[in-house]
């Protein structure tokens, strides 16, 4: 019965989010996509969670039906992928990212996808973000990304990134990484040697 109710609610919220997704060209019109992303991020409670999931299912490159995107969280790039069972906490900002199955992001996590180097004109002024080449940042399956962490490089599956950590270099699978810049401190699996 619970599964039928959830499926029914998902269908209702897909219908509710459809006009906004259509306006954004299903994510192809970046400015309208961002308007929709900001708008749905502000809907509170369970209706908001369902609305965000529905909108992103229609406008991201790929978004699983069974995920949760909390209040204040939004995607800044429609070329993102969210796999099944992902939890995205409140006030997260996610760029061009691939979040693996079952991964969880705590409050205020940022997954950046900016250009490795912003272009400058002849006088040294920095150009806008539309000039950059955006890289996809991958967070592997079954990862935990702690509150207020900033992720700028890939995180291997089954890894933990501590609260407030800043990931500037790839983190291998199955480890715990903390600090600024994030460094591996131990294996995430009990009784295993840390792969440093």
> Is the pLDDT confidence value at 195 over 90?
no
The CA distance from 115 to 99, in Å, is: 19
* pLDDT averaged over every residue in the chain: 90
CA-wise closest residue to 52 among 73, 33, 32: 73
The pLDDT value recorded for residue 28 is 93
Looking at 46-50, 114-118, 187-191, which range is the least confident one?
Answer: 114-118
Domains observed in the chain? 2-187 (2.160.10.10)
Tens digits of residue pLDDT in 116-157: 556 677 787 776 655 566 789 999 999 999 999 999 999 999
The pLDDT value recorded for residue 3 is 82
Decide if 39 contacts 73 (C-beta within 8 A): no
Q: Is the dihedral of CA 161, 52, 35, 62 positive or negative?
A: positive
Per-residue pLDDT, averaged over 41-64, amounts to 96
- Report how far apart, in Å, the C-alpha atoms of 188 and of each of 99, 142, 161, 171, 175 are: 19, 11, 10, 12, 4
The pLDDT value recorded for residue 36 is 97
- Report how far apart, in Å, the C-alpha atoms of 84 and of each of 1, 30, 144 are: 21, 24, 15
The pLDDT value recorded for residue 56 is 98
The pLDDT value recorded for residue 122 is 77
Instruction: Name residues whose C-beta falls within 8 Å of residue 41's C-beta, 6 or more positions apart in sequence.
Output: 52, 71, 72, 73, 74
Reported pTM: 0.87
Peptide bond into 181 cis (omega under 30): yes
The CA distance from 119 to 166, in Å, is: 23
The CA distance from 88 to 108, in Å, is: 9
DSSP SS3 for 187: strand
**Burial bucket for residue 92 (CB in 10 Å: 0-12, 13-18, 19+):** buried
Q: What is the DSSP track for 92-105?
A: -EE-SEEE-TT-EE
The CA distance from 84 to 105, in Å, is: 14
**pLDDT bracket for residue 187 (50, 70, 90):** confident
């Amino acid at each position: 019965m619970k599964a039928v109710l959830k499926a029914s609610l998902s269908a209702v919220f897909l219908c509710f989010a459809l006009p906004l997704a259509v306006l954004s060209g299903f994510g192809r019109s970046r400015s309208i996509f961002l308007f929709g992303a900001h708008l749905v991020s502000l809907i509170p409670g369970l209706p908001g969670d369902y609305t965000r999931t529905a909108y992103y299912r229609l406008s991201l490159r790929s978004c699983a039906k069974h995920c949760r995107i909390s209040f204040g969280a939004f995607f800044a790039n429609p070329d993102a992928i969210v796999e099944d069972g992902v939890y995205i906490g409140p006030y997260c900002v996610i760029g061009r990212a691939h979040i693996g199955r079952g991964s969880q992001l705590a409050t205020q996590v940022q997954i950046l996808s900016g250009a490795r180097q912003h272009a400058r004109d002849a006088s040294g002024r920095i150009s806008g973000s539309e000039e950059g080449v955006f890289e996809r940042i991958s967070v592997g399956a079954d990862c935990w990304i702690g509150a207020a962490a900033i992720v700028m490089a890939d995180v291997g599956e089954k890894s933990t990134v501590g609260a407030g950590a800043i990931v500037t270099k790839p983190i291998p699978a199955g480890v715990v990484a903390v600090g600024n810049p994030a460094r591996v401190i131990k294996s995430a699996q009990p009784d295993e040697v840390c792969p440093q």
